[in-house]
């Protein structure tokens, strides 16, 4: 007995009885209707952000309320890209096991057989290999004066934790300068390299580490001749080299440097290799050196329902006890899943962004005294000598306000996509808003704001690192025809409107 059209499955059965050309035509018509502007409008309305001011009063509105501290993702319009010109650019490509690096005036090729280069200003073939000791796949090549610092895989390293070889070659003579293997972490500066080599165990665990600082351009193959000092580790997992493998050049190895270690952050005198201060009793999530002090902040409470508060303390370098300690508020994410960070984490000119009793403030790091306090509930994103930029973590509208520090008057308002997990860096009249690094790729996106006008732009970068007067903006994409991966590096002034 055939199914009645009113019974379940009847329409599907009836549809199958239609001639095939008719079924195809109906499918095309229905698909076109779903993709039409009217349908697109309907779908977009279903997925759009709703302004809370439009909600009706009553129980539905009460159930739908967000915290006024949370920022609605996507509420701000998409910004135009910044269209300025970088100071210089570099590009490197990976062709299988060959690493090719392009600078403004030369091409460097690294393979298992050695290193070669070709001048871009001359029409000539690759020069003979500089040397034949590259036995592993090259991961990175960096020019430091008359030296090439090469990072390569180290497949002979024991344990399962990833380790590298780091070595240098004189670009004039082609002579090998120094060579470290089984390197867990390294940081490059204009004048030195800092490497950490750790005991490693199955399962990825890292044991005690030795940290060494060496001069880059010392013309010797003997590691001992290049070394400034070596710290032998204790029983914990530190110390680790400050910075990381992608730390850009641009500054000398600072006299005082923070060292990441377990279970503490410490301050090291890089001329002697001696520890001169630490925050052993403070569970620091980040820290920064400001003059003769270390400013450290602990992790915020992981449960937003308990109130998002982050402890901040100032330590005089050499003192174990903090000179002062305070709690400052952060903001929960829109899904109330986690607490955000302090947007402007590092102190600037001896001053730090804070939150006092729910109001934005700027405090002196030496005294913990407020030098500026806002009159409306918001959070300080960044500041310079002239203005303070605060964020109102509400739904829609102009979410950023710049207030003159001397006048107390609003200078401008702007709308910029921002989330409580983003961080901010101010250099001169340029404010950088950086998304939190991706959990797996460590890539991040950025917006830039002209502090004089409030004009805001998206910035073309997947990874940003600041050094001195420059910011190194990295990007990458895959070239299906030629290279496996193409990485680019744009070097910009860190103050874009200086």
What would the pLDDT profile of 373-419 be if each residue is shown by its tens digit? Answer: 888 888 888 899 899 999 886 545 568 899 998 888 999 998 887 77
Give the helix, strand, coil percentages of the chain, each rounded to 5.
Answer: 10, 40, 50
Task: Give the three-state DSSP class for 41.
Answer: helix
**428-444 b/e with 16+ CB inside 10 Å = b?**
ebbbbbbbeeeeeeeeb
pLDDT tens, position by position, 317-376: 888 788 888 888 777 776 677 777 777 767 888 888 888 777 888 988 888 888 898 888
Residue 284 near residue 295, CB atoms below 8 Å: no
Cβ count near 379 (within 10 Å): 27
Q: Which residues, in sequence order, are CB contacts of 57 under 8 Å at separation 6+?
A: none
Is residue 306 one of the residues assigned to a domain?
A: no
Count of structural domains within the chain? 1
List the one residue out of 88, 465, 89 whose CA is nearest residue 247: 465
Would you say 428 and 468 are in contact if contact means Cβ atoms under 8 Å apart? no
Tokens of 57: 């009063």
What pLDDT is attached to residue 293? 82
> Is residue 449, in this structure, part of any structural domain at all?
no
* pLDDT score at 148: 80
In a domain? residue 331 = no
What global pTM score does this model have? 0.63
Query: How far apart, in whole angstroms, are the C-alpha atoms of residue 431 and residue 428?
Result: 8
Q: Phi/psi of residue 444, each to 5°?
A: -145, 160
* 119 found inside a domain: no
Inside any domain, residue 277 = no
Q: Give every CB contact of residue 460 below 8 A, 6+ residues apart in sequence.
A: 81, 82, 473, 475, 490
**Is 17 within the bounds of a domain?**
yes
Query: What confidence score (pLDDT) does residue 160 get?
Result: 54
CA distance 10 to 126: 74
In this structure, are residues 128 and 116 in contact, taking their beta carbons and an 8 Å threshold?
yes
Is residue 58 in some structural domain? Answer: no
Extract the runs of DSSP E, i.e. beta strands, from 227-369.
227-231, 256-260, 265-269, 274-278, 284-290, 293-298, 309-316, 324-329, 351-356, 359-364
Beta bridge partners of 316: 293
CB of 297 closer than 8 Å to CB of 311? yes
Rounded CA-CA distance 30/13 in Å is 18
- Give helix then strand counts, H and E, for the chain: 5, 33
pLDDT of residue 495: 93
By residue range, what is the domain housing residue 14?
A: 1-39
Provide the pLDDT for residue 132: 45
Pairwise CA distance, residues 302 & 306, whole Å? 8
Best CA proximity match to 167, nearest among 158, 176, 175: 176
Does residue 490 belong to any structural domain of this protein? no
The list of the chain residues with pLDDT below 50 reads 1-25, 27-76, 123-133, 235-241, 243-248, 395
CA atoms 305, 314, 281, 237: torsion sign: positive
In sequence order, what are the beta bridge partners of 75?
none
Tens of pLDDT, residues 255-300: 777 766 655 667 777 777 777 777 767 777 777 777 788 888 877 6
Residue among 176, 152, 150 at smallest CA distance from 97: 152
């Amino acid at each position: 007995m055939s199914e009645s059209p009113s019974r379940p499955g009847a329409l599907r059965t009836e549809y199958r009885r239609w001639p095939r050309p008719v079924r195809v035509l109906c499918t095309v018509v229905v698909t076109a209707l779903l993709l039409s502007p009217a349908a697109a409008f309907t779908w977009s309305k279903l997925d759009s952000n709703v302004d809370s001011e439009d909600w009706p009063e009553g129980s539905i509105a009460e159930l739908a309320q967000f915290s006024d501290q949370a920022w609605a993702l996507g509420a701000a319009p998409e910004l135009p890209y910044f269209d300025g010109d970088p100071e210089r650019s570099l590009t490197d490509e990976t062709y299988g096991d060959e690493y090719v690096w392009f600078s403004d005036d030369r091409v460097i090729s690294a393979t298992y057989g050695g290193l070669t280069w070709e001048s871009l200003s001359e029409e000539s073939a690759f020069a003979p290999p500089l040397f034949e000791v590259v036995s592993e796949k090259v991961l990175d090549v960096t020019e430091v004066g008359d030296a090439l610092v090469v990072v390569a895989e180290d497949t002979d390293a024991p344990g399962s934790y990833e380790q590298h070889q780091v070595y240098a070659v004189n670009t004039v003579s082609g002579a090998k300068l120094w060579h470290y293997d089984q390197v867990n972490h390294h940081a490059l500066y204009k004048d030195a390299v800092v490497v950490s080599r750790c005991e490693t165990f199955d399962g990825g665990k890292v044991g005690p580490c030795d940290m060494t600082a060496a001069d880059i351009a010392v013309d010797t193959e003997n590691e001992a001749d290049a070394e400034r000092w070596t710290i032998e580790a204790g029983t914990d997992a530190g110390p680790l080299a400050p910075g990381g493998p992608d730390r850009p050049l641009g500054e000398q190895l600072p006299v005082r440097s923070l060292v990441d270690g377990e279970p503490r952050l410490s301050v090291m005198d890089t001329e002697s290799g001696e520890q001169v201060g630490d925050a052993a009793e403070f569970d620091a999530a980040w820290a920064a050196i400001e003059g003769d002090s270390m400013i450290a902040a602990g992790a915020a409470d992981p449960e937003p329902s308990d109130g998002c508060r982050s402890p901040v303390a100032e330590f005089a370098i050499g003192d174990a006890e903090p000179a002062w300690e305070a709690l400052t508020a952060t903001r929960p994410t829109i899904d109330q899943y986690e607490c955000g960070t302090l947007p402007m984490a590092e102190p600037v000119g001896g001053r730090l962004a804070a939150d006092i009793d729910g109001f934005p403030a700027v405090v002196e790091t030496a005294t913990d005294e407020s030098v500026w306090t806002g009159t409306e509930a918001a959070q300080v994103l960044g500041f310079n000598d002239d203005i303070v930029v605060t964020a109102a973590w509400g739904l829609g509208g102009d979410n950023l306000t710049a207030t003159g520090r001397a006048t107390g008057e609003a200078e401008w308002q702007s709308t910029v996509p921002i989330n409580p997990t983003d961080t901010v860096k101010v250099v001169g009249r340029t404010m950088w808003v950086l998304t939190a690094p991706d959990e797996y790729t460590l890539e991040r996106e950025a917006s830039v704001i002209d502090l004089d006008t409030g004009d805001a732009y998206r910035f073309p970068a997947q990874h940003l690192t600041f050094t001195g007067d420059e910011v190194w903006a990295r990007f990458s994409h895959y070239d299906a025809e030629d290279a496996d991966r193409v990485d680019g590096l744009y070097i910009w002034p860190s103050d874009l409107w200086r």
